[in-house]
Amino acid sequence: MLDHSVSRRGFLKATGNTLMGTLAMTSLPVAILAPGKSWALELQSLTGRQGEVLLKLTRHIFPHDTLEDAVYALVVKDLDAASADGDVRNMMAAGIEHLNERAGGDWLDLDEDRQFMHVRAIAGSEMFEKVRSTAVVSLYNNEMAFRHFGYGGELGDAGYLQRGFNDLTWLPEPPAEASGPVYGSAG
C-alpha cells in the first residue's frame, strides 16, 4: 500500500539501470515545463535500485514535499556521473549497503519515520556528505527548481525594470528622496 506522501509524489520505479517515474503534478509551473508526464533516467555507473535509494535519501536530506521526483532525479544523475570514478562508485555502493544493513536488509522498504531515523544516524558519513554536497547544488540549480521555488533565473537577463522589480504593494512606498526615478517612465 502506498502511503499518502508517496502517492502525492507519483510513481517511482527502478529496473536494471533505469530509474523512471511520473510527475505528481503537484507543481503547476514544473508540469508546464515538463515535456511529458513520465520521465526516465538511464544510469551509467549505478544500478536503478541504487538510484532509487539515492533519490529517496536526497528527499530526506532536503525534504520539499511538493517538489517532483523528476527534480530529485537530477541529483541522482549527477551522483551517477561522479560514480564513473571507481573510487566514488565503490564508496557510494558501500554507503548504500551500510544503510541497508542498518535497516535490517532493505532501507527503502521501511516507513518514512524509520527511514529518517537511519538517515540521521549516517549524517556526516562520506556517502551522506557526497549526496548532500551534490544535492545542495544540483537540486536548486535547474529550470524546474527555478519554476517550483519561484526564482526568475535567466528570465532576469532582460531586466525587471519594466517587469516588477518594485511591484511590492503590501508596505508603504519609500519617499522619493530615499529612492530614485524609474528610468524611462513618465512622472
Partner 1 sequence: MESYENKTTFAHDDSDVVVIIGSGAGGGTLADELTRKGIDVVILEAGQLHKRSDFIADEWASFGQLAWLDNRTTSGTWRVSRDFPNLPSWICKAVGGSTTHWAGASLRFQPHEFRVRTEYGEIPGANLLDWPLTYDDLAPYYARAEDKMGVTRTNGRPGLPGNNNFKVMHAGAKALGYEQVHTGNMAINSLPRDGRSACLQRGFCFQGCATGAKWSTLYVEIPRALATGHAELRPQSHVARIEHNQAGKVSGVVYFDADGNEQRQAARAVAVAGNSIETPRMLLNSHSSLFPDGLANSSGQVGRNYMRHMTGSVYAAFEEPVHMYKGTTMAGIIQDESIHDPSRGFAGGYEMETLSLGLPFMAAFLDPGAWGRDFTEAMDAYTHLAGMWLVGEDMPQERNRVTLHDSARDQYGLPVPDVHFDDHPNDVAMRNHAFERGIAVYEAAGAKKAYKTPPYPSTHNLGTCRMSASPLDGVCNGFGQTHDVDNLFISDGSQFTTGAAENPTLTIVSLAIRQAEYIAEQMAARAI
Query: What is the contact surface with partner 1 in residues (CB under 8 A)?
Result: 61-64, 123, 132, 136-137, 139-141, 145-146, 149-154, 156-161, 163-168, 170-174, 177-184
Q: How far is the CB of 91 from partner 1 (least distance, A)?
A: 19
Task: Return the DSSP state at 19.
Answer: E
Q: Collapsing DSSP states into helix, strand and coil, what is residue 147?
A: helix
Q: Shortest gap between Cβ of 137 and partner 1 (angstroms)?
A: 7
Q: How far is the CB of 29 from partner 1 (least distance, A)?
A: 12
Nearest approach in angstroms of CB 34 to partner 1 is 18
Query: Which of 2, 158 has the CB closer to partner 1?
Result: 158
Residue closer to partner 1, measured from CB, 11 or 140: 140
CA–CA distance, 74 with 131 (Å, rounded to integer): 12
User: By the 8 A CB rule, do 107 and 178 touch?
Assistant: no
Cβ closest to partner 1, residue 14 vs residue 71: 71
For residue 130, count other CB atoms closer than 10 A to its CB: 18
Please check whether residue 24 is in contact with residue 8, taking contact to mean a CB–CB distance below 8 angstroms. Answer: yes
How far is it, in rounded angstroms, from Cα 8 to Cα 148?
Answer: 16
